[in-house]
Amino acid sequence: EVQLLESGGGLVQPGGSLRLSCAASGFTFSNYAMSWVRQAPGKGLEWVSGLSGSGGYTYYADSVKGRFTISRDSSKNSVYLQMNSLRAEDTAAYFCATGGRLSGSYYYFDLWGQGTLVTVSS
């Protein structure tokens, strides 16, 4: 079965760190660019970060640049999001996502994980 499974969310204090993981299965992971998209409670979707299939190119939203780092380990079919200096406004469900299976572009997202909730609060 083709799927993405996130883990690593939780409650963290402002200024703290958290590392999210996303495990892929059912497809050739190394061929696919990956992204993280977040959704604050009751709000819309916000793209956070993306990573090329090779891992050589990384991209970030301005809101997280310098604080978050995306990476991947193709031997583990996994992508990660290291989140440092967390703020209350980072509170959201974080989804890993990819595309290209239904649309021809890695950046139209046709495969989503179920999400992991990050809460930044004291």
Partner 1 sequence: EIVLTQSPATLSLSPGERATLSCRASQNVSTYLAWYQQKPGQTPRLLIYDASNRATGIPARFSGSGSGTDFTLTISSLEPEDFAVYYCQQRSNWPPLTFGGGTKVEIE
Binding footprint of partner 1 on the chain (CB under 8 A):
35, 44-47, 50, 59-62, 95, 99, 102-105, 107-110, 112-115
**61/84 with CB nearer partner 1:** 61
CA angle 87, 8, 59 (to 5 degrees): 65
**16/46 with CB nearer partner 1:** 46
Shortest spacing between CB 122 and partner 1, in angstroms = 28
CA atoms within 13 A on the CB side of 90: 31
CA angle 15, 8, 77 (to 5 degrees): 125
Q: Are 68 and 48 in contact (CB under 8 A)?
A: yes
Shortest spacing between CB 62 and partner 1, in angstroms = 7
Sequence-distant (≥ 6) Cβ neighbours of residue 28 within 8 angstroms: none
**11/102 with CB nearer partner 1:** 102
Shortest spacing between CB 8 and partner 1, in angstroms = 17
**33/120 with CB nearer partner 1:** 33
Q: How far lies 104's CA from each of 98, 100, 110, 121, in Å?
A: 11, 4, 10, 40
Shortest spacing between CB 75 and partner 1, in angstroms = 26
